[in-house]
Structure 1
Amino acid sequence: MSTPPTPPQQPPDQPSDAPAQPTAYPYPNPQSPPPGGPAGFPPPTQQGVYAQPTLVGQPGQPQPGNPYAQQGPYGPVPVPPPGGGSGGAGRAVLWAAVGAVVASAAWAAGVFLIGKDSADLRGYSAPSNLCSGGDYSSFKDEYPENDTSPTHNALKAAALDEGYCSLSLKKTGSSYADAYLTVQMDLHKKTDPGPEFTATWKNYDDSHSGYDVESVNGIGDEAYLVTEDTTSGSSSGSRYATLAVRDGWMTYTMSYSAYLSSYDTDKDPPKLDEVTDWLKSDTKATLQNLKG
Structure 2
Amino acid sequence: MITEPEMVDSSDDGDGDRPGGVEAVEAIEQGPLPPGGAAGRPGGAWWHRPWAWALAGVLVTSAVWAGVLRSTHDDDSGTPDLHGYHLTESPCTGQNLQPLVDRLSATTVSSDDGPVITGSTLDHVSCDLTGDTSAGDGWSTSYTISVTVDLHKKTDPSPEFEDAVKVAVSAPGGTLFGGYGYVPATDQHTEPLSGLGDRAYLTTGTFSQSVNVQHGGAVFSLSVSADNAWNGEGAPPTKADGAAERPLVADTRAYAAELPRTVRHLMSVLAKP
For normalisation by structure 2, the TM-score amounts to 0.54
Q: Compared with structure 1, are the counterparts of its residues 270 and 260 closer, same or farther at alpha carbon in structure 2 (3 Å cutoff)?
A: same
* 1:100-157 Cα deviation digits (max 9, x unpaired): xxxxxxxxxxxxx732x72211111123221237223333243332324533321111
2:51 is matched with which residue? none
The farther-off stretch of 257-266 and 156-165 is 257-266
Q: Which secondary structure does the structure 1 equivalent of 2:224 belong to?
A: strand
Residue 195, structure 1, aligned to residue 159, structure 2: yes
Separation of aligned partners in 1, 2:115 and 2:209: 22
Residue 169, structure 1, aligned to residue 149, structure 2: no
Residue 182, structure 1, aligned to residue 120, structure 2: no
1:48-127 → structure 2 map (5 Å cutoff): 114-115=76-77, 118-127=79-88
Residue 225, structure 1, aligned to residue 202, structure 2: yes
Query: Deviation at 1:161?
Result: 0.8
Query: Deviation at 1:261?
Result: 5.2
Structure 2 gap segments, 5+ residues each: 1-74, 173-184, 237-242
Query: Deviation at 1:163?
Result: 2.1
Separation of aligned partners in 1, 2:110 and 2:101: 16
Contact 1:185 1:253 in 2 (8 A): yes
Picking from 174, 196, 215, the partner of 2:192 is: 215
1:134 is matched with which residue? 96
Kindly provide the amino acid, as one letter, of the partner of residue 167 in structure 1: L
Query: Deviation at 1:241?
Result: 1.2
Q: Which secondary structure does the structure 2 equivalent of 1:179 belong to?
A: strand
Query: Deviation at 1:245?
Result: 0.5
2:259 is matched with which residue? 279
For normalisation by structure 1, the TM-score amounts to 0.50
Q: Which secondary structure does the structure 1 equivalent of 2:214 belong to?
A: strand
Separation of aligned partners in 1, 2:256 and 2:126: 20
Contact 1:178 1:262 in 2 (8 A): no
1:21 is matched with which residue? none
Separation of aligned partners in 2, 1:244 and 1:200: 10
Identity among equivalent positions (%) equals 23
Separation of aligned partners in 1, 2:157 and 2:196: 16
Q: Compared with structure 1, are the counterparts of its residues 187 and 203 closer, same or farther at alpha carbon in structure 2 (3 Å cutoff)?
A: same
1:243 is matched with which residue? 211
Kindly provide the amino acid, as one letter, of the partner of residue 126 in structure 1: L
* 1:186-224 Cα deviation digits (max 9, x unpaired): 100111111101112146544453131111111111111
Q: Compared with structure 1, are the counterparts of its residues 170 and 251 closer, same or farther at alpha carbon in structure 2 (3 Å cutoff)?
A: same
Q: Compared with structure 1, are the counterparts of its residues 134 and 127 closer, same or farther at alpha carbon in structure 2 (3 Å cutoff)?
A: farther
Structure number with greater CO (CA < 8 Å, separation at least 6) is 2
Separation of aligned partners in 2, 1:114 and 1:157: 22
Residue 155, structure 1, aligned to residue 117, structure 2: yes
Contact 1:120 1:249 in 2 (8 A): yes
Structure with greater Cα Rg: 1
Contact 2:85 2:271 in 1 (8 A): yes
Contact 2:196 2:264 in 1 (8 A): yes
Q: Compared with structure 1, are the counterparts of its residues 224 and 141 closer, same or farther at alpha carbon in structure 2 (3 Å cutoff)?
A: closer
- CA-based RMSD of the aligned residues comes to 3.0
Residue 255, structure 1, aligned to residue 223, structure 2: yes
Q: Compared with structure 1, are the counterparts of its residues 175 and 206 closer, same or farther at alpha carbon in structure 2 (3 Å cutoff)?
A: closer
Kindly provide the amino acid, as one letter, of the partner of residue 179 in structure 1: Y
Separation of aligned partners in 2, 1:142 and 1:206: 27
Contact 1:188 1:250 in 2 (8 A): yes
Q: Structure 1: which 4+ aligned runs deviate by more than 3 Å?
A: 172-177, 202-209, 260-271
Structure 1 gap segments, 5+ residues each: 1-112, 230-238
